[in-house]
Every structure is written in structure tokens, then in C-alpha cells.
Amino acid sequence: MTIAPSTSLFYDRAASTMRSLTGQADRLNQQITAESNILAPSDSSVAWQRLQDLSRADANDAAYSGNVSIAQSVLQQADSALSQIGDQIQQVSTLVVQAGNGTLTANGKAAIASQISDLLTAIVAAANGADMRGGPLFGGQSGDPAVTRNADGSFSFATGEAAVIPIGDGQTVQPGSNAANFLKTGTSDLGSAITSIIAALNAGGEVPADAGDTLKQVSDQVTATQASLGARAARVDIVAGQIATARLDRADARTAVDGFDYATAITELQKTMTVLQATQASFTKLSGMSLFDYLR
């Protein structure tokens, strides 16, 4: 009469043990997947809230980090384009000096005028370059070309500046500059100046003095704009370093709050699975024994 209750007790105890071990294994699996000991507020409300705050900060910085990368790339593109424009303006200046040689023939001046015309075309192309986002490097927010050559050779410029890029809480950076800031002077622009130089040389005359002055002023403005963009790039690099440092600090804080250790969790899971498999094997063997096996 005592066999039935004992058998029932054996099954209940074995089932309870296996349920407990299975639950431990499931929780360890969840912790390993989440890389966290805290899976719900019920585990520790204070720790849970702290971990949520750290996760939100990580998500925000991930977005800012993407913007920082874009800003770095666009600023690098703008710097490269300005270097090209500066070099091309310098080549124009060198050709203007050559054109001032008193022994130069009319054909020689016309040849120089042709070279200067090609350089002007290259300058406009560089100024109208697009950034990695598809927008103009040196234009406004409308997406119109930064520089347009008018029929008289003068330049028209897109209005406004391109949209700023947010790189942190309350921090933005302007990754470009409107072309008018460096290709236009108070009374003229590079297009008008170079067009008048080309016309004078094709007519066999001398380079107009005011055109030469505009050429020099524009060259100085290109250099100043490049320096300004370089300062912005340095600030973006600093922000990138701050984001990386903050990410490491939060990782340390998360470890201190959570205490999760991947190696320890794996070891515990292996131990639990070993015990569970042994318990299941024992249960299977014992549950298959008959009354005669017990009596032997």
C-alpha cells in the first residue's frame, strides 16, 4: 500500500527538480543573450532604471556618432574642393603674371586666355560639387547650384547656407560655406574678374588692375574659408573622441550596476545543463523499473 504514494512522491520530486533546472537554464540563456543579469524591473528596480538610462544614452550617442561621421566626411570634401579651387586660382595668377611679359605676342596672350578660361570652368565645377549626401558643398538649402555663370561672365550664387548637422546635445556644425563667402568681393566676383582678364588678353591688351586685385582678394578668402572649415573639423574630431570616451564610461558603469560576466554565465549554464541531463537520465532509468526490480 505504500508503493503508490512513494512512486507519486518520486515523480513529483523528479518533475519539480527538472522544472527548476530547466527554469535556471532558460534564465541563463536569456541573460547570455541579453548580456545582462537584470532582465526585468522585478529583478532590481533601481538597477533596471539605471540600465535603461545607460541604454538610452548609448542610443542617442549612436545617432550622434553617425552624424559626426557625416560631418567629418563633408568637411573633408569641402576642404579638398577648396584646395582645388585655391590651386586653380593660383594657376590663374601665375598665367596673369606671364601675360604681363612685354615680349609676349598677341597669339601668346590668346593662348594664355584659353588656359585661364579652362581654369575658370574647373573652378565653377569644383564650387558646384556635391557632398556625400547629394547636396551642394557650397550652396544653400534649396539644392540649387552653388554658382551660376551669367551671360556677362559674372557669377550668381545660391542663397543661404546648407543645413547644420547635430553632433551632440545642443551642438551643431555647419559643414560647408556658401560660395559667395569666398568667390565674391564687395564690388565684384571671381567670374567677372577672370572674364575681364580673358577679354583683355584676347584683345591683345593688358590685364585690368582691378581684376588682378579681385583675384588676390578671392584667393585670400578661399584660404580663410579653408581655415574656418579646418577649425570646425577639429571641433568635430573632439566631439567624436568625447562620444567614444562616454561610451567606454557607460560600459564600465553598466558592468558595475549589472555585474554580468559572460564567461561565468556560460560556465553556470554548462553546469546546470549537466545536472539537468543527469537528472533526466536518472529519472528515465528509475521510472522504467518494475515492482520486481524493486523487490530484488
CA distance 237 to 71: 10
18 in any annotated domain? no
Answer yes or no: do 134 and 161 share one domain: yes
Neighbours of 158 (CB within 10 A): 22
Answer yes or no: do 286 and 149 share one domain: no
Closest-CA residue to 167 (of 258, 257, 65, 94): 65
- Can you state the percent helix, strand and coil of the chain, rounding each to 5? 70, 5, 25
Predicted local distance difference test score (pLDDT) of residue 226: 96
Predicted local distance difference test score (pLDDT) of residue 234: 97
Question: What is the tally of structural domains in the chain?
Answer: 2
Positions in the chain short of pLDDT 50:
1-3, 291-292
Quote the domain boundaries for residue 212: 55-251
Q: What is the pTM of this model?
A: 0.73
pLDDT digits (tens, 9 = 90+) for 188-246: 999 999 999 999 999 999 999 999 999 999 999 999 999 999 999 999 999 999 999 99
As to burial, measured by CB atoms within 10 angstroms (0-12 exposed, 13-18 middle, 19+ buried), residue 123 is buried
Answer yes or no: do 284 and 171 share one domain: no
